[in-house]
Amino acid sequence: MNQLLDDVLKEGAPPGNGEAVLERSLAALRGRRRRRAAFRQCLVAFPAVVAVALGWTLAQRWNDPGRSVAETSGAVVHGTTPPVIELISDEELFSYFPDRPLALVGPEGHQQLIFLDRPIEPQLGQN
């Protein structure tokens, strides 16, 4: 079979054509091999590039000194220590509003101060 193909190719082909065909075939095979190797290298490099980019982005967000909790939440934080709350007695509270009728309503520790000289306004959700 190979001998038949050799005879057919030799009869119709110009001299030196076999070497040219062989060179073109080898060049095509080398090109395919190079493309496959480049594709494999890209497949290996792509996850590494993504990991580096993601790490760099997260590091920028983590180490950004201009960004604070106040900017992200919309609240302004002025200090780290909580304000000091001074508890006063009922009499001391009443002394801040002399000449006004007042009442403390509610359970001990959760009382509300009510001014009796103003009409009571209905609260939201109540008719």
Q: Is residue 78 part of a domain?
A: no
Token pair listed for 115:
């001014």
Query: Per the domain annotation, does 126 fall within a domain?
Result: no
In a domain, 17, yes or no: yes
Say whether pLDDT at 69 is over 60. no
Q: Does the model's pTM come out above 0.95?
A: no
Cβ-Cβ contacts under 8 Å for 113 (sequence gap 6 or more): 93, 102, 103, 104
Find the distance separating the first CA and the last CA of the chain, reported in whole Å. Answer: 104
- Co-location of 63 and 40 in the same domain: yes
Query: Phi-psi bin for 85: left (phi > 0), alpha (psi -120 to 50), beta?
Result: beta
Domain that holds residue 22: 2-73
User: Which band of pLDDT confidence, cut at 50, 70 and 90, is reported for residue 50?
Assistant: very high
Q: What is the pLDDT of residues 84-95, one digit of tens each?
A: 888 888 889 889
* Residue 30, in any domain of the structure: yes
Say yes or no: 20 and 68 in one domain: yes
In a shared domain, residues 103 and 48: no
Cα–Cα dist 29/35, whole Å: 10
Q: Are residues 69 and 90 in the same domain?
A: no
Q: Report CA Rg, the chain.
A: 44
Structural domain count, the chain:
2
